[in-house]
A and B are shown apart, each in its own frame.
Chain A
Amino acid sequence: MSEITDNNVSYKSKETIDGNYATINFGPTHPATHGIFQNVLKVDGEKIISSEQTVGYIHRAFEKLAERRPFNQITPITDRLNYCSSPINNMGWHMTVEKLIQAEIPKRAQYMRVIIMELARIADHLICNSVIGVDTGALTSFFYPFSEREKIYEMYEEVCGARLTTNIGRIGGFERDFSPVFHEKLKSFLKTFPKAFEEFNSMLERNRIFMDRTKGAGPISAERALNYSFVGPNLRAAGVDYDVRVMQPYSSYEDFDFIIPVGVNGDTYDRFMVRQEEVRQSLRIIEQAYNNLPEGSYKADIPEFYLPPKEEVYNNMEALIYHFKIVMGETEVPVGEVYHSVEGGNGELGYYLISDGGRSPYRLQFRRPCFIYYQAYPEMITGMTLSDAVLTLSSMNVIAGELDA
């Protein structure tokens, strides 16, 4: 993060004439950045000549914090990475720890995870795509999907009690089985959502104004995207079919039948279309997982990591010991290095965990897809107009929480 001084051009909020070019501050608190990032753009009229980024405005030292916290207390940190799809972050972290302690997770818990993660993906993509609508001037397409997203948040509430920063699930599975209300809500969601979604889709997909505005805005070639370590929908829009769910399946994703949509040009329209199709595929996965939800336990049998039920703590000596150890963070873990990644809303979300056997990680590094692909932003918007820069930013789905850790 570059310091703001009087000599620094980025401090000046008005346009300043620099030769023939004007310097414009896009951000840090501009409504169109949808987060806190500063972009200093050098423009010739409407055309962007060059740009410079400043990130780190909401850096919260997560990797340092994680070095002091017991494993189960790191889950709330991961909520705040990509807060549009926090359940994926939570479960990615749980799976990393489970890999380290080599826990066997029952099929039912895995399928339940898949359902929640795909709901989170739908919520994430809905926000991103409806925001592209806002940035092209279509406010209706922003308000309608929010009632659908609300239903997803109500389902989170039913499972874990929280909505945005979910802290959903536990190391080893879930804290409780899906409640009857959840089943009802999910059933009605699966029934009503496809129609509502297609309605939203028809507002934008073949909308002449929307297509004119988004086609060719902020394109990136597959080769450049790969070189910049792009992942997720942004990479797939450029035509590369990389998806962690297929490449290295986790949590029983190999059981489900779904396709990976890819784009051609890697521009804003392709990114929009890829996300739209991914929502449909996520729905397919949820339907498959829900219809084939296996019988069994919703949690793994790992008493050293999974809190026992309260009645047992009062009546059972062993449960009391485990309860105490987990709450005080005194559980022993194996020594080792683990890398685990999940397909988050923005692509490969990775956890590199070095454990020295202590109560907290020796080092935990998050692979934050936003942070890595945001550096390609200047290359993507150079030569574009100012309004294309806004569109490119929102269609890349750069989330400040994930960017700054």
Chain B
Amino acid sequence: MLNNEAILNRINENYGSEVVISEENFGILTIEIKAEKTHEIISWLKRDEVLECSFLTLLGGVHYPDDKGREFAVVYHLHSWTNNFRLRLKVFLPSENPSIKSIVDIYNGANWMERETYDFFGINFEGHPDLRRILNMDSMDYFPMRKEHVLEDATREDKDDRFFGR
């Protein structure tokens, strides 16, 4: 059984220069890596005989509009079943051209998860076989999970309540 320190050491040995920050969040090692090498690192994590992160649990986006130059994050949750640890990889992208290499060729399950991330955040996955919207209509011209699209304020008072059954 590997502990988080050993996992981080193993990653640092091979890709130490690509790791920006690492921290532990509620038992899961979180590593921020540089965008260019993401595909290479994930592919190595899957193949590596010590870590064997053979399972992609989750892939999704996060929007941090106040963080200049790194507004978008793509978060990968990997799971190594042989060692039973989870690993969270975070990659930050600028808002001008949020674009990252697709990992569909490594994990086929990433296909729809990347489409969903594109659909909701507008993050472009280079090399994705079929990057279209998945849950929203094709004619939609914005990316709804971005923070600039706020939901209606629950306490607004300018509505005529008779029409809303309140």
Q: Which residues on A are within 8 Å of B, measured CB to CB?
A: 1-3, 55-56, 59, 61, 63-65, 67-68, 99-100, 224, 226-230, 242, 247-248, 336-339, 341, 348, 350, 352, 354, 362-363, 365, 367, 371-376, 404-405
Contacts and interface: CB of A to CB of B under 8 A. Distances in A.
Interface stretch (B3-11, B52-60, B94-102): B52-60
A398 to B, nearest CB: 13
A248 B55 contact: no
A328 to B, nearest CB: 10
Nearest to B106: A227
A2 B134 CA distance: 7
Given A228-B108, A352-B75, A375-B108, 15 more contacts: A1-B133, A3-B138, A55-B135, A61-B144, A63-B145, A100-B26, A227-B107, A247-B81, A337-B26, A337-B30, A337-B88, A338-B26, A350-B58, A350-B77, A372-B113
Interface string B105-138: 0011111110010001000000000001111111
Contacts of B134: 1, 55-56
B151 interface: yes
B139 A3 contact: yes
B132 A363 contact: no
Nearest to B150: A68
A56 B56 CA distance: 23
Main DSSP-derived SS at the A contact region: mixed
Contacts of A3: 137-139
Nearest to B138: A3
A172 B116 CA distance: 32
A402 to B, nearest CB: 12
Contacts of A367: 57-58, 77
A365 B58 CA distance: 9
Contacts of B138: 1-3
A248 B58 CA distance: 16
Contacts of A228: 108-109
A67 B57 contact: no
Contacts, number: 98
Contacts of B144: 61, 64
Contact of B60 (A99, A226, A352): A352
B12 interface: no
Contacts of B120: 63
Interface range for B: 35 or more
A103 B28 CA distance: 18
A363 B58 CA distance: 14
Nearest to B30: A337
A374 B134 CA distance: 13
Which 5 residue pairs are nearest across A and B when measured between Cβ atoms?
A: A229-B109, A56-B135, A3-B138, A59-B135, A375-B112
Given A367-B57, A367-B58, A339 B88 contact: yes
A337 B57 contact: no
B148 to A, nearest CB: 12
Interface of B: 25-26, 28, 30, 54-58, 60, 62-63, 75, 77, 81, 84, 86, 88, 107-113, 116, 120, 132-139, 144-145, 149, 151, 154
Contact of A229 (B86, B107, B132, B154): B107
A247 B86 CA distance: 11
Given A55-B135, A67-B151, A248-B84, A229 B25 contact: no
Contacts of B88: 337, 339
B103 to A, nearest CB: 12
B151 A68 contact: yes
A363 B134 CA distance: 20
29 contacts: A1-B133, A1-B135, A1-B136, A3-B137, A55-B134, A55-B135, A59-B136, A63-B145, A68-B151, A99-B26, A224-B108, A226-B55, A227-B108, A229-B57, A229-B110, A247-B84, A336-B26, A337-B88, A338-B25, A338-B26, A339-B28, A339-B57, A341-B57, A350-B77, A352-B58, A371-B116, A374-B112, A375-B109, A375-B112
A2 B58 contact: no
B137 A1 contact: yes
B149 to A, nearest CB: 8
Contact of A348 (B57, B75, B151): B57
A337 B25 CA distance: 6
Nearest to B152: A68
Contacts of A227: 107-109
A227 B54 CA distance: 8
A365 B57 CA distance: 12
Given A56-B135, A64-B144, A371 B28 contact: no
Contacts of A352: 58, 60, 75, 77
Contacts of B62: 354, 362-363
Contacts of A61: 144
Contact of A371 (B26, B63, B112, B145): B112
Contacts of A376: 108
Contacts of A65: 151
A336 B25 contact: yes
A9 to B, nearest CB: 15
B1 to A, nearest CB: 12
Contacts of B109: 227-230, 372-373, 375
